[in-house]
Structure 1
């Protein structure tokens, strides 16, 4: 008898199979027991009819505890009443691992309780669906960049310097000197781009930022492409093509997860239409001021309410272009006709999800970059390797970073970024 996974039930209709699963929930009447089964690939229903099985099988089904691991034997059949479309008529049950007093019951639980039990909360249908979408974004990211001629390069996680200053970095001892957990792989990707042309990294980054907002994590994952012989407008086209590709991949491959999450496919389909709108920082400030945001002045960075209003004005992901130089990192290319802004862009997701991409064209002039490093109070000796890139064949280049968890949060339509990563690290949480 073949052992299958739930997700493959559609290929075995009318066949008797075995499935290893956990009992997510159950209900029973006098004559029928319904088991909600999950195996990591999907959820579906198992049906035990008292008159069709030995009495001990029916009694076992009625008395199974939540999260008991079982090996089920039965016939796969179509089930038009469920979104999944299939169920199993159970003829045999073997208990593989018992479960008693499972702490996460079908009732409501508080966030702290669920976070304390994150190792178990991941088993729930909603969290399972979110992780499926996360997995699809990871898969699609590799497909997109591999198909477009990018080489994956892995930057170090331990670094001796910081791309954006050391104020929110985790410091550690590196034998007899200081080191930091990486807040971005970008500077290293610039070096890689000078060797390989088009590169991307995909790895964990760390920010010791004491923020408790629903958009912030201490440890998160970033996708950071960098492209040689590339100006900002070309980079923006790659960014919007990449994001639209991610959205389409979720639509194509995560239908069941979107259904579990109650995510409207038609809303997501709007985000596959290109090009995405663009608005300058100057015009964005004017738009906000015109609409009652008296707290914003030219030179300020945007907060969540500002980003939400701007994005809602377009109902699509939107690029905000060319921010003030004073609020951006040292490595961004100066504007050719203005000394108060740099050539950069943030992509703001619609529906109040905020910035998901930050990117820029990079400064290429050695003397300018050296001066900016000094102006930012950074040690030029620590950046000598970075300055070398401007001495030996400097070329126009641009890149960006996309935050994986913020993108998952947006596409899954969930409230808080903490549910978009398997084991979140938050300001006051490093357990489990």
Structure 2
């Protein structure tokens, strides 16, 4: 087991990893920008090192500064959390070259699954159903011809990156060439890679993901599924587990193909395979996240398995101590992301000083946050300031518990999205479980903006 781990991240996920390390008796090193000098992860870690100014590119994406901090402090491993460098294969490779364990899959796997075109081909070869589409097409006329064959509506999608960037919806043939050019330009500007491919746009779909843990001894275990269909502009807002929408047969099939895919590619550590599922129960591979997910706590709630601790153990070459049949889903869990945004101003991010903070309590209520009273939120980073997670015996009870927790949550000094979450939980379609990835667009964005 490692004696010291550096956390190459910030905010609530850095705190989450520090807590897991403390429980395991592992020392921690926090890195921080000048804007994060007063952040909680800096004070709670055993050691901390400033790695640059406020800008993400000069600090949390500064690979040389992070590796230098690891060498200077004698850290044996680096946990990247999510976002930032967590799916950067160059960073993972440099960690290995420096003799530092990267807590995640190999850099080769990160590179393979980060290239969405290659990931599609890999999963298709592994027997995983994929959305009808094309390979990378660089010629606009050839792409237009292929688009007409696939049919509209369709998506032009960037090969690299994520978070909803580099995606253009095309609904008519006459719009294709313009949207294709815009997608390539956006992909180049965002990811320095203008490679794009085409994919049939599925309507009325669910976003379902399977959480995997895979050790280096070819043990692959699926920890059930998460429903992530409540999204705004391709960014998840609320997640729940188990999904209210899938049958045991579909669940078993999803788990089987996900485990087989992980075995086929020799996957290691935590990973998530994301699917789109239509109203007939047909599901298709969308992408694989080769990292810890923001929404991992709901899986921990329903399984009792600490995913972060197992990430660390697997990276230290320890085998899983449980098998697939040992995973039992108990009850229901929901996570609401709390963002420092004003929903009445088109969800405009904001920052400010936390004048008063009250965190909800009670059995099976968890608030993962970077906030404390008197903390000033810097304007340079992601707007998510916390995740409220609750668990109960049934979905109905869990919805009621989450509503109570949201009503108890008090954050004064900034605008935030807790009221939007309450509105979602109270919506008849959500209560029925009859919602899809277009839920926010159809049910909330327009009323809020009006």
TM-score, normalising length: structure 2:
0.20
Q: Greater helix percent: which structure?
A: 2
TM-score, normalising length: structure 1:
0.21
Query: Bigger radius of gyration, 1 or 2?
Result: 1
